[in-house]
A = this chain, B = another copy of it.
Amino acid sequence: MPEVPNPRQLAAWRAFLEAHAAVTAVLERELQERDLSLAWYDVLLQLSEAPGGRLRMGDLARSVLLSKSGLTRLCDRMESAGLVRREPIDDDARGLVAAITKTGRSTLRRAAPLHLKGVQTHFSRHLSEQEARTLTTALRRIAEAARGS
């Protein structure tokens, strides 16, 4: 196993960084038209898919790829905006759940078509089915290994 990446591998790494920067920038810009960011959208999405529309703060933090303190502050802002609500947990007074509100659900419903179209336009559209499969398996492998580090 070589110690360092060869030029073709470095090209893949560079393309990965550039694609991420470019695509997330466009999607952020598009979501701003709905007064959302990618992070806010992601919180609403994860909550909407969770049973009861609720997730523990710590679990939600991991789902949306944020630190715990980062999620605390994000929830502060989203709670002020009326999109989520914090609730105590019955069997553990240390913990809290974030719950999506009615307003949160309708905000997500209104934003989803725009955002999904954005993902389609700026990402998926440029991938063949075969390429999408390759990306998924390869990038999952990478993410899992990196998380273990």
Contacts and interface: CB of A to CB of B under 8 A. Distances in A.
A77 interface: no
B18 A65 contact: yes
Contact of A123 (B18, B126, B142): B142
Question: How many monomers of this protein are in the complex?
Answer: 2
Contacts of A142: 19, 22-23, 122-123, 126-127
A25 B146 contact: yes
A143 B15 contact: yes
Nearest to A130: B134
Interface of A: 1-6, 8-13, 15-23, 25-26, 65, 113, 116-117, 119-120, 122-127, 129, 131-136, 138-143, 145-147, 149
